[in-house]
Structure 1
Amino acid sequence: MNTPQAGALGRTLRWLRDSQVARQFGWLAMAKIVQGVASLAAALAVARALGPVEFGALSLAIAIASFVAMIAALGLEQIATRELVAADSGARTLALLRRLRWSGALLGAAALLAVSVLPQVHALGASHLVLILALLPLAQVGDLAEWRLIASGHGRRVAMAVVAVSPLAALVRVVLAFGGFGVVAFAWVLVAEWALRSLLLSLLARGLGTQSGEGVATVALRDALELLRESTPLLLAGIAVFAYMRIDQFMIAAMLGQQQVGLYSAVVTLAELPLVVPTLLLRAALPTLTRQSMDNPLTRDRTLVRLMGVSVYLHLAMSVVLALLAEPLVVLAYGEAYRGAAEAFRLQVLAAPLVALGVLSSGWLVLERRTGHALRRTVLGAVANIGLNFWLIPAYGIAGAAMATLAAQALATWLADAAYRDTRGLFMMKTRALWPGNWGRT
């Protein structure tokens, strides 16, 4: 049946197919698929080899290190992409970003060293793992090269680096798992994987058209502070997102014990696989959206509505299928010992359409220089998630933690935009994204 909605959907899909966004997304998605498949296979082998208790300790250590490494990036990714597109990767902009990125990495490494000696971390059996993972923020500084490549439209080079490193790292993990190695070995592999990836990305980003002398370009403190002023709300928003996506693990550890953390961490890894799509889509689209924002903001908004609509329906379809197959999928992936996590997995995957809206809409906030709202809405979600965890985890176990996360996502990615006058336009864009017939309207 040829309805207006079907016609709008077809036009949007044809536009995506022919656009620069689609080409960039295609390369990034291909790389992420390879990385996801490799990482999932390795995670399954590691989870089975270590068992819920040791896998729980490793997951907690990685969660702590990933949290600090995220802070070390200073919330710069989307801001950096916008600035690199606008400045055509000028030497001064690049030198400024490089110094900010390295400063954050050094502070992150120092913070993890301090965390590793905390009695609370030692009691969880993760202090020695956190000590090793203190190198992670330094190993990840190559993401600046990745931002440059994406801003310049070279997603293929990013894909090359990921495809070269991820399967190799996964193979090493599988070999170590079957060889009976302990958790320390897997912590070292994670650091090595990111260091090798950073090295390859830096080599691939050389000669992107920057002026000579980029390493000695003058960097004004005022410019650094201005970038940090814009990126800080995004950084704090990332912390808040981490709170309602990861704080569950720490609260489960305190309330239910380490074995339940292992169960929950395993299915979180599985449930988050589809969530890379909106992140990749925004990364691929942000250079195009930045140029459209400078030329015609209405065109940019139509593009963003189309992207949000396609992503929501894609994730809704995936969520329904995964929710229906939750128990057999969990048992197939992790074994009978993890069957008790199936209900939590079923609830976790239902948040995917909401996450898609939240991730893609953050691009609008960056381009409109309203990054403060990103912090505002995610803080609301984090507070709601923590509060609900105190009620739902004792009552429903790890399924209760998944319920809290789902409710927090609805608040942060949907209702929060409607509550403020300066973002009600964004709320209306999200509403239009739910109806394909409205995707071409402004």
Structure 2
Amino acid sequence: MKIKLAFPIENIRASFLVAEKIYRSLISIILASLIARTYGPAEYGLLAFITTNLALASIFLSLGLEGPLLRQLSLKDRINHLNSFLEIKIAACLFATLISLMCWPLIQPSEHFLYLLLLLYIPFTCLELFEVELLSNNQQMSLAKIKIFCCSFIAIVKAVIIFHQLPLNLLLITYAAEPCITNACIFMLAKKNRNRKLISLPFLSSFKSIITESMPLWVSALGIAAYTRVDQIIIARSLGEQQLGIYVAATQIISFFNFIPVALYNSHAASFLSLQKNNEKISNEKFVALFIKFNKAALASSIFILLCADSIINLAYGEKFQASALILKTLTISNFFVFMGVAHSLWILSNQKPLVRLYGTIATAILSITLNLLLTPHFGLVSAAIVASLAQSFAAFFANYIWAKESFILQIKSLGIK
């Protein structure tokens, strides 16, 4: 006789991912607070500027492969699917490394250290795909343990550097090393669970179909990076690193709450990507229910941030960062639409409509870059926060009226608007 669990096994597995996201977010906030208090707004801004460049490099090298791979691994012939994606990723990393080495003489001496970090980071991005495979194999618990262990180890190293006030470059090395170590550990776990070879070059029979599906997602990811990071680059160049430190202190708090939509996404991805489209009515009802769940979580977190912004900034960063409180309150609007955008991305992947995200993010990137160039140098940090909120609302909601009216209608229903 089978025993029926009080909670679905999917929810139990998802709880490990939620716990891991909460833990890593807490560690990130604690370390950000220590760095800001120890080094001050200016150096905190410099650190934020360089880590932003590392994040952009990571997005550039992602190639948009994660979503399509998760969908493909739900089908037969899992080994060959993974091999095809991995070979494309390896080829892209080799090409990026070659181009980077060719551009080395053109880089200013002051930026050589950052460039060297990027070169060392590139090879390990190939291993990111194995995280997707572990998720598809329902190994959320093992994945969470690896990430928590790596995060804890690097956090201890960072804490030692901070407490001894060692040079900032050492901190930069740890920020670049953490994803490398994590990806390597995930790879070792995936290899341990396999009885077959991971790679059997050459195997590019699926190249065309993979590129067709992933490239729009990749371009859209670059667009998202543009409209979420361009404000920091413009602030650093026009207002200085100290002002960037004030601004990033607020965005760091907002980013802390992003573990909620990410965890919700991971817990629902497998079921929604395999959702049968035979009954459109049932499918739409499930998406409306999903959007409502995301909206409730977004509203709760946004209200909490708005009411506690001053206390949060004072507790986390101290008096030198009090100007960040107003920025944080302004960014609560963008927080709501971040949740909505993550939920909408599941609709895009489930319906295999990557061009929807492509058009929306390109338009949003153009809007964000234009407004930031026009407003931020003249009106300061608050204008940058307003532009960020406008960009998120357009990308997650208003753009769907143009390019994804089906999803837009479902979003309207989830908001209770008839």
State the TM-score, normalizing by the size of structure 2: 0.91
Q: 1:344, 1:400 within 8 Å by CA — same for their partners in 2?
A: no
Alignment counterpart, residue 273 of structure 2, candidates 274, 280, 290: 290
User: Hey, what's the Cα distance between the residues in 1 that align with 2:341 and 2:55?
Assistant: 21
Answer with 17-26 or 299-308: which moved more: 17-26
User: Hey, what's the Cα distance between the residues in 1 that align with 2:198 and 2:394?
Assistant: 44
Describe the shift of the 1:300–1:205 C-alpha distance in structure 2 as closer, same or farther (beyond 3 A).
farther
Describe the shift of the 1:349–1:20 C-alpha distance in structure 2 as closer, same or farther (beyond 3 A).
farther
Q: 1:348, 1:402 within 8 Å by CA — same for their partners in 2?
A: yes
SS at match of 2:166: coil
Shift of 1:395: 4.2
Aligned to 1:91: 79
User: Hey, what's the Cα distance between the residues in 1 that align with 2:242 and 2:297?
Assistant: 34
Shift of 1:126: 4.7
CA displacement 1:309-366 (0-9 Å, x = unmatched): 1111111111112122212211221121111222111111321221111112112212
SS at match of 2:235: helix
Shift of 1:131: 2.1
Aligned to 1:374: 357
Shift of 1:151: 1.1
Alignment of 1:235 onto 2:218: yes
Describe the shift of the 1:78–1:407 C-alpha distance in structure 2 as closer, same or farther (beyond 3 A).
same
Alignment of 1:216 onto 2:200: yes
Describe the shift of the 1:280–1:391 C-alpha distance in structure 2 as closer, same or farther (beyond 3 A).
same
Alignment of 1:330 onto 2:313: yes
Aligned to 1:81: 70
Q: 1:84, 1:151 within 8 Å by CA — same for their partners in 2?
A: yes
Describe the shift of the 1:298–1:211 C-alpha distance in structure 2 as closer, same or farther (beyond 3 A).
farther
Aligned to 2:21: 32
Q: 1:92, 1:217 within 8 Å by CA — same for their partners in 2?
A: no
Aligned to 2:413: 432
Q: 2:400, 2:407 within 8 Å by CA — same for their partners in 1?
A: yes
Alignment of 1:357 onto 2:340: yes
SS at match of 1:193: helix
Tell me the matched-pair count.
413
Q: 1:65, 1:112 within 8 Å by CA — same for their partners in 2?
A: no
Gaps of 5+ in 1: 1-16
Alignment of 1:316 onto 2:299: yes
Taking only aligned residues, the RMSD between alpha carbons, in angstroms, comes to: 2.4
Answer with 276-285 or 181-190: which moved more: 276-285
Gaps of 5+ in 2: 1-5
Alignment of 1:101 onto 2:85: no
Q: 2:59, 2:225 within 8 Å by CA — same for their partners in 1?
A: no
Alignment of 1:43 onto 2:32: yes
Aligned to 1:131: 116
Q: 1:133, 1:188 within 8 Å by CA — same for their partners in 2?
A: no
Q: 2:57, 2:118 within 8 Å by CA — same for their partners in 1?
A: no
Percent identity at matched positions?
23
Describe the shift of the 1:267–1:231 C-alpha distance in structure 2 as closer, same or farther (beyond 3 A).
same
**One-letter amino acid of the counterpart of residue 284, structure 2:** D
Alignment of 1:307 onto 2:307: no
Describe the shift of the 1:384–1:45 C-alpha distance in structure 2 as closer, same or farther (beyond 3 A).
same
Answer with 232-241 or 99-108: which moved more: 99-108
User: Hey, what's the Cα distance between the residues in 2 that align with 1:130 and 1:339?
Assistant: 33
Alignment counterpart, residue 203 of structure 1, candidates 174, 188, 191: 188
Alignment counterpart, residue 152 of structure 2, candidates 164, 167, 179: 167
User: Hey, what's the Cα distance between the residues in 2 that align with 1:196 and 1:363?
Assistant: 29
Alignment counterpart, residue 170 of structure 2, candidates 185, 207, 217: 185
**One-letter amino acid of the counterpart of residue 134, structure 2:** L
Alignment counterpart, residue 147 of structure 1, candidates 116, 123, 132: 132
User: Hey, what's the Cα distance between the residues in 2 that align with 1:225 and 1:434?
Assistant: 39
SS at match of 1:135: helix
